[in-house]
Amino acid sequence: MAKLAFIGLGVMGYPMAGHLARAGHQVCVYNRTAAKAVQWAAEYAGSHAATPREAAAGAEFVMVCVGNDDDLRGVVLGADGAFAGMQPGAVLVDHTTASAQVARELAEQATALQLDFLDAPVSGGQAGAQNGALTIMVGGAATAYAKAEPVIQAYARMARLMGEVGSGQLTKMVNQICIAGLVQGLSEALHFAQCAGLDAQGAMEVISKGAAQSWQLENRHKTMLAGEFEHGFAVDWMRKDLSILLAEARSNGAQLPVTALVDQFYADVQGMGGGRWDTSSLLARLQGR
């Protein structure tokens, strides 16, 4: 079993770190709100540290799962950052959904310190993290991935090396593009069914057995019809992800008209006070709630 550090104990990181502890690894955690790190250490018989550097000291693998590019730089770089505590040959696995640019930036600094860096954003939401069933998209050197892959399997349903550093983040952008269009389509379908006087629940049961089937339909249509949005992946975080990928699209020339439009629809949801609602709340916008 390995000596690990896990930095960032949000709704995703807390259970992910727990799966590592349950797998028998020695895990030291760090969280900006120290009380949550203390709670995690008590629950999983692990340890906690006052800084990312202390958590990473002597660790073979350092997992990071924080909010955005700036948060990532804040816990990895500097005198108290994870890099400062890591020994040559250690691997930093970044599960943050961030930009490909920051992944390349940190990988370059890791190389200078004789460390390995993998950008490895995840998909599957809070439920996937809790159930150890996340999809993990990885960018980096094959040798580093070969070392880390047995460890990340503790919370993965699917993990794949997609290419060089940055490829994991780019693949996560592909994922978010798909989700944005699918959720808007599902919202419009439910809204249309209701306006047409159909049994919307029955309509979903029928079309879920055909070509319209999707994870979003299967897992979200009931809560959408019930007007329940206080769960799942928050609109604020989705807009952060869409901002990153739309900037990447402007750089690489990709045309994303539907995604850009749905991003503005999510801005409308934020204006309705739904920044912390689940992304399926696009239906609420159509219903004028």
Which residues are designated catalytic? 172
Token match 């049994």: residue? 199
Query: What is the three-state SS of 177-216?
Result: HHHHHHHHHHHHHHHHHHHCCCCHHHHHHHHCCCCCCCHH
- Burial classification of residue 211, based on how many CB atoms lie within 10 Å of its CB (0-12 exposed, 13-18 middle, 19 or more buried): exposed
Name the residue type at position 245: L
CA 229 to chain centre: 19
The closest alpha carbon to 286, from 168, 143, 149, 188, belongs to: 188
Tokens of 113: 């310190």
Q: Alpha-carbon distance 119 to 242, whole Å?
A: 18
Can you say whether residue 227 is alpha, beta or left, with left for phi > 0 and alpha for psi between -120 and 50 degrees? left
Q: Alpha-carbon distance 87 to 89, whole Å?
A: 6
